[in-house]
Amino acid sequence: MNVRAAALRSLSNIWAAAFIIALSAMLPRQALAERLALVPQMKLRVNIVQWVPSKGEYQHWDSVSGEFVVSTDGTVTLPLLGTFAVTEFDTRELASEIVERFKTKAGLLDAPDATVDVVEYPSIFLVGSVAAPGAKPFRPGLTVLQALSLGGGVFRPDSNSGLTGQLATVGELEDVRSQILRHTARLSRLRAEMAGDKEISFPPEMKVGSDEAVLVEIVAQEKIIFRARRNALERQLQNLAELQGLLSSEIDILGQKTQALEGSIKLSENELSDVKSLVDRGIATVSRRSELERAVAALRSDRLDQITAIMRGRQSISEAMRSEVGLRDKFQTDVSTELQDVQASLERLRIKEEVLKKTLVLTPATSSNGGMALSSADPELSFAVVRKTKDRVEEFAASERTVLAPNDVVKVTLGERSKRSAGASVAVSGVSR
């Protein structure tokens, strides 16, 4: 049966490998590479499990599993494993790296199993002659033409929609700026918690162009949260310190009792020695000697109980100290994770703010008679992609089939022939008038 099962598993693995190879051949190379690429602001889900033969089940390492965001500098911070760069890895390589780091850090004999899945990709951004510019959701293999469809196609202004679209963009820009203000205040509070400061130091740029009432409300809220979280941590640490003090006092009292018992035992042993000599000479009775022997044995038993109680007290102090260290570590880990999420969200909001400002600049004004409206014919468009690499930002011409990457900015503009046709149309109508 074992040989047959092994053969079946081997055959299944061969078919699975053949299927993966065939699927890889069918997918475009660039799309496949983009699907596996790890970039800043990408949200990952890490899951680590280990098979326990003695229990016949998988053990989940929840302390190092969860969802994490790749920071703007291309690093990720995992509990116990620390911070390390991930932009050189795909999801499978990152899983292998996590396994090796966790095995070394935890001192495991057998390597666990780890999986890394992409939960959320960073957005791409559309600007220019698009019906609905702004941030759009990214998926692996997304092309420029597909991104254009997500933006509602080519922008076709009419006599009424231009002003309405601009007002909506202005409103969205104000909302984004309000969110940036709140994220900046929250980031200042988290940095103060991470550093152990007693007060929050807010950056001066928060006051530039900000509504005074809104700013005061945001600062007050963050200060309340800061004090509440700090007081909660201090109360827990104070309780542990008081517990250690009580245990130390108890150990001191037990030590004094032990010394008193040592004196009583010494006196009883001296008395027993004298009684033994008297019994040998027939002056004292055997019952008196037996009574003293039982008293000495009881005193020695009490001394052992006191020593055991002292050891238990010291063990409780060690547990309280470990709890204190664990409480501080958990607080730092929670603050670090929240800080990383806020930094990523703030970066996305700032990118969105820049896109909205460029949208307001690039959106053409619409005249009352619709003179700037496009003709009914399909316009000739040109595309350009702005992409950020490790050390620079580059812009290159693109086509409808160009595969996009996360955080790409796609510029959509009218071609030269379309612009000349539109200008000729206006000129002809002017002559006829």
Dump pLDDT digits (tens) for 302-350. Answer: 889 989 999 999 999 999 999 989 988 899 999 999 999 999 998 999 8
Query: Is residue 266 included in any domain, yes or no?
Result: yes
292 shares a domain with 200? yes
> In 10 A of CB 26, how many CB atoms?
8
Query: Is residue 245 included in any domain, yes or no?
Result: yes
Task: Kindly report the backbone phi and psi dihedral angles of residue 410, in degrees, each rounded to the nearest multiple of 5, phi listed first.
Answer: -105, 120
CB-CB contact of 155 with 127 (8 Å): no
CA diameter of the chain: 150
410 residue type, one letter: V
Looking at residue 14, what is its pLDDT? Answer: 42
For residue 433, name the pLDDT band (cuts at 50, 70, 90).
very low
Query: Is residue 145 included in any domain, yes or no?
Result: yes
- Token pair 């130390």 in the structure block, residue: 248
Looking at residue 157, what is its pLDDT? Answer: 58
Looking at residue 137, what is its pLDDT? Answer: 92
User: What is the tally of helices (H) and strands (E) in the chain?
Assistant: 8, 11
Task: Please give the residue range of the domain that contains residue 62.
Answer: 42-120
Calculate the CA dihedral of residues 33, 34, 37, 40 and round it to 10 degrees: 160
Is the confidence at residue 218, as pLDDT, over 50?
yes
Looking at residue 425, what is its pLDDT? Answer: 37
Query: Is residue 146 included in any domain, yes or no?
Result: yes
The encoded tokens of residue 291 equal 């009574």
245 shares a domain with 190? yes
Apex 259 CA angle, 256 and 264, nearest 5: 125
Looking at residue 371, what is its pLDDT? Answer: 40
Query: CA–CA separation, 218 vs 224, rounded Å?
Result: 10
3-state SS assignment for residue 367 = coil
CB-CB contact of 410 with 135 (8 Å): no
165: left (phi over 0), alpha (psi -120 to 50) or beta: alpha
Looking at residue 406, what is its pLDDT? Answer: 87
What would the pLDDT profile of 243-254 be if each residue is shown by its tens digit?
999 999 999 999
Query: CA–CA separation, 42 vs 118, rounded Å?
Result: 7
Is the confidence at residue 148, as pLDDT, over 50?
yes
334 shares a domain with 204? yes
pLDDT, mean of residues 410-420: 65
Looking at residue 164, what is its pLDDT? Answer: 67
199 shares a domain with 320? yes
Looking at residue 341, what is its pLDDT? Answer: 92
302 shares a domain with 172? yes
Query: Is residue 32 included in any domain, yes or no?
Result: no
Query: CA–CA separation, 146 vs 353, rounded Å?
Result: 23
Task: Kindly report the backbone phi and psi dihedral angles of residue 396, in degrees, each rounded to the nearest multiple of 5, phi listed first.
Answer: -140, 155
- Token pair 């945001």 in the structure block, residue: 218
CB-based burial label for 70 (10 Å; 0-12, 13-18, 19+): buried
Higher pLDDT, residue 375 or 117 = 117
Higher pLDDT, residue 37 or 174 = 174
215 shares a domain with 84? no
Is the confidence at residue 80, as pLDDT, over 70?
yes
114 shares a domain with 194? no
DSSP annotation of 404 = P
229 shares a domain with 89? no
How many structural domains is the chain composed of? Answer: 3
Query: CA–CA separation, 351 vs 340, rounded Å?
Result: 17
CB-based burial label for 38 (10 Å; 0-12, 13-18, 19+): buried
Looking at residue 431, what is its pLDDT? Answer: 33
Looking at residue 207, what is its pLDDT? Answer: 59
Say what percent of the chain tops pLDDT 70: 79
Give this prediction's pTM: 0.43
193 shares a domain with 305? yes
Query: Is residue 10 included in any domain, yes or no?
Result: no
Residues with Cβ < 8 Å from 367, sequence gap 6 or more? Answer: 159
Query: Strand pairing of 393-398 and 381-388?
Result: antiparallel
What would the pLDDT profile of 370-390 be if each residue is shown by its tens digit?
444 444 455 578 899 998 877
Q: What count of residues does the chain have?
A: 433
200 shares a domain with 278? yes
179 shares a domain with 145? no
Range with the poorest average pLDDT among 97-111, 276-290, 348-362, 409-423: 409-423
196 shares a domain with 229? yes
Is the confidence at residue 360, as pLDDT, over 90?
no
Q: Report the sign of the C-alpha dihedral through residues 88, 94, 98, 101, in that order.
A: negative
pLDDT, mean of residues 197-224: 79
Query: Is residue 190 included in any domain, yes or no?
Result: yes
Query: Is residue 384 included in any domain, yes or no?
Result: yes
- Token pair 């009583």 in the structure block, residue: 264
CATH number reported for the structural domain that contains residue 52 in this entry? 3.30.1950.10
DSSP annotation of 206 = G
Looking at residue 421, what is its pLDDT? Answer: 41
Query: CA–CA separation, 381 vs 318, rounded Å?
Result: 71
